[in-house]
Chain A
Amino acid sequence: AQKVTQAQTEISVVEKEDVTLDCVYETRDTTYYLFWYKQPPSGELVFLIRRNSFDEQNEISGRYSWNFQKSTSSFNFTITASQVVDSAVYFCALVPFWNQGGKLIFGQGTELSVKP
């Protein structure tokens, strides 16, 4: 089965706190791609990162970092020193390599609320 689970439905933090959004995936494929998207209040999904299954290096982009661990099938997303503008719904997604059409398999999303 191909599945993505984001167990945290809603998270609320106070500005400047660090927050980690969890993503656990299931796939039988050895080659696959993982994604994170952000959905701000304006509605469109904004691409944040793509990672392929052979690249387990963690990535940092400003206040954002991603921890990819194949051993636990997780691809967690951490926001350091959160800001009010980080408030959004965040989606983790999977594309198995065999799916040459590229359709994304999404998790349920985590709604992050950052309060001032």
Chain B
Amino acid sequence: EAGVTQFPSHSVIEKGQTVTLRCDPISGHDNLYWYRRVMGKEIKFLLHFVKESKQDESGMPNNRFLAERTGGTYSTLKVQPAELEDSGVYFCASSQDRKASGSNEQFFGPGTRLTVL
């Protein structure tokens, strides 16, 4: 079974440009999460989809970030326009079942390393 995949693995852009990150969760997983790790700090939650619906987007830093999950399959996270402080590693994770989802194991992708110059 394929794991969570993310594309691209690395992205280097200039301040003001737009970048779109993609995440393909494990097939059949309803829950999809985005997290971010900035400059060696803790990994922080960005948002949570259940199928195509945003369940919790309390961690999104500001309105320059837009996440979508059309059809409840893959998800994209767009940053427009990118700022220097957006640099970091963006992780996607998925889990299977929403019942007591606090206990569900989340399977992580390898992350996208975003560098904004």
Contacts and interface: CB of A to CB of B under 8 A. Distances in A.
A102 B59 CA distance: 13
The range of chain A's interface size is 20 to 34
B74 interface: no
A95 B104 CA distance: 10
| Interface SS, B side | mixed
Interface stretch (B19-27, B37-45, B63-71): B37-45
Nearest to A37: B108
A109 B42 contact: yes
A53 to B, nearest CB: 11
Given A44-B3, A97-B102, A108-B40, A103 B45 contact: yes
Given A101-B55, A103-B59, A104-B106, A43 B111 contact: yes
Interface of B: 3-4, 9, 31, 33, 35, 40-45, 48, 55-56, 59, 89, 91, 93, 95, 98, 100-111
Interface of A: 4, 32-33, 37, 42-47, 50, 52, 91, 93, 95-97, 99-109
